[in-house]
Amino acid sequence: MIPAGPTKRNGPATRIPEATHVETAVEYLRKEQKRHLDELIELCKIPSISTKPDHADDVRRAVEWTRDKCRSAGLTAEIHETGGHPLVYAEWCGAGDDAPTYLVYGHVDVQPEGDLKLWDAGPFEPTRTGDWLVCRGSADDKGQVLLYVRAAEAWLQTEGRLPINLKLLIEAEEEIGSPHLEPFIREHAALLKCDGILISDTGLARDGQPAITRGTRGMVYKEVFLSGPKHDLHSGQFGGAVQNPANALAAMIAALHDDDNRVTIPGFYDDVVDPTEEDRAQIRALGIDDEQFAADLGVPALWEGERGYTAQERRSIRPTLDVNGLTSGFQGQGANTIIPARASAKLSMRLVPNQNAAKISKAFDAHIRGLCPPGVRMKLTTHGAEADAYVTPSDHPALRAAVRGLREAFDQEPVQLREGGSLPILPMFKEALGADCVLLGFASPNCNAHGPNEKVNLPDLDRGAEAIARLFAHLAAS
């Protein structure tokens, strides 16, 4: 159920003098740290694994718990049914029409626990280890979602109001690809109308070092199936006469990069905007030591990659094409002398801002068809949605407000990251609501999200709650 009526409620329209009020809210947060931790532990105990149908009730419990917590914080909150797991919509829109309106997006569903033997304690038995809370969902994304509830509560309980109009959209299907999120957003575009979107589902640059994730890459994922003879052939009797699908596939994949390690798909780079000196400076500022980076990954050397760009640029602000899987012929132990009947490859491209995923997808298909030799047949599949890259505009007011909030709470200048992965919801939000996203994350780089012993650093979480409380004030002033 969604509250009916206008999304901006009446209320005092005067600006709040931030300097005084925010300190009261921050003081409240500090006092309530212990209780807020207990609440996080409560939520983490619920095994809200969205991929497992037998955990559907747990997912619902986590959603209900979140609704109740929003209400006790002083927000209005309702559960909304979708075709799958329900979601929570909460808001406090009493800051008036002159105040900006921000939408928070997060999720309370979690990944499966994986191999239980790899966990030191039960994955849903939150365990305190020094400054850390170990538990599935502690970092991704329960701990981070609750920061907004804590910050809202701090303002509402101390000042009786928020400096901005705040909307929260907390779903429970993120770990299964958010199948019902986009339809919900499109259907409720008026309700969700906002000046910007705040998301905390990313991480710090390193422990204690705040970061804003400025952009993500887009993605197109393809699978190429080649078939040759109707069944595997004796490589002695037919080798030389018959096009070997595995050899053909290797040649086709090899032809997707040129000698400068640039992707050969015609038009692939046409719309790519060259990184600005600022983009490159931000990456240099991260100060990643390539040698240490290679050693940590266990590779003998980093890839020489696309000529003209550093490894750290190539993994974040340049488009790439990678094979994700290869399958053909005999894969057992030892030798089997066959010409395989079939060979297939999974391939994905990471795209950068201004590249159009749909256009790249078509260009890939045409290019790979042209590379397919006459002796084999080809079938092409696209997996998942074609997602564009996304970058937060550098002049977005929430970006400046987030920088200030993070700086004050962490006593450190936040760095701005460009993330190489893909978050299809970012361009989707932009397209459906016309609003930009600001990503400020508080998970540790070694939080082990999706893995065993997922954990969150509690002092970082506490600083995160403070950063968000301060961010609200800066947004009001922006």
Per CB under 8 A, contacts with a second copy among 159-218 are 216-217
Query: Residue 192: which residues within 8 A CB-CB, separation 6 or more?
Result: 7, 103, 167, 169, 185, 433
Q: How far is the CB of 259 from a second copy (least distance, A)?
A: 11
**Bridge partner residues of 343 (DSSP):** 226, 328
Among 11, 78, 286, 293, binds a second copy (CB under 8 A): 293
Distance of CA 401 to the CA centre of its chain: 21
Query: Which residue shows structure tokens 């096009």?
Result: 243
The token pair that represents 429 in the structure block: 């939000």
User: Closest by alpha carbon to 414, among 207, 205, 216, 203?
Assistant: 205
Q: Which of 130, 160, 300, 395 binds a second copy (CB under 8 A)?
A: 300
Task: Kindly state the DSSP code that residue 155 receives in the 8-state scheme.
Answer: H
Q: Where in 367-396 is the site for a second copy (CB under 8 A)?
A: 373-377, 383-384
311: enclosing H helix or E strand? helix 311-314
Q: Report 87-126 residues binding a second copy (CB under 8 A).
A: none
- Residue 448 makes contact with a second copy by CB under 8 A: no
Residues near a second copy (CB under 8 A), total: 83
Closer by beta carbon to a second copy, 61 or else 346: 346
**Among residues 153 and 306, whose Cβ is nearest to a second copy?**
306
Which residues, 6+ apart, have CB-to-CB distance to 191 below 8 Å?
2, 7, 89, 167
Looking at the Cβ atoms of 13 and 118, the one nearer to a second copy is 118
Sign of CA dihedral 52, 58, 61, 63: negative
Please report how close the Cβ of residue 199 comes to a second copy at its closest, in angstroms.
16
CA pseudo-torsion sign 168, 172, 178, 183: negative
E strands along 7-136, which residues? Answer: 76-80, 87-92, 101-107, 127-129, 132-134
Binding positions for a second copy, 250-269, rule CB under 8 A: 250-251, 253-255, 257
CB of 383 to a second copy, least distance (A): 4
Residues 302-361 binding a second copy (CB under 8 A) are 302-306, 311-316, 318, 320-331, 334-340, 343, 345-346, 348, 350
Least separation, in Å, of the C-beta of 239 and a second copy? 4
Q: How far is the CB of 145 from a second copy (least distance, A)?
A: 22
Rounded to a whole number of angstroms, the minimum distance from the CB of residue 438 to a second copy is: 20
Among 35, 128, 234, 369, binds a second copy (CB under 8 A): 234
Question: Min. distance of Cβ 290 from a second copy in angstroms?
Answer: 8
Q: What are phi and psi of 19, to 5 degrees?
A: -55, -40
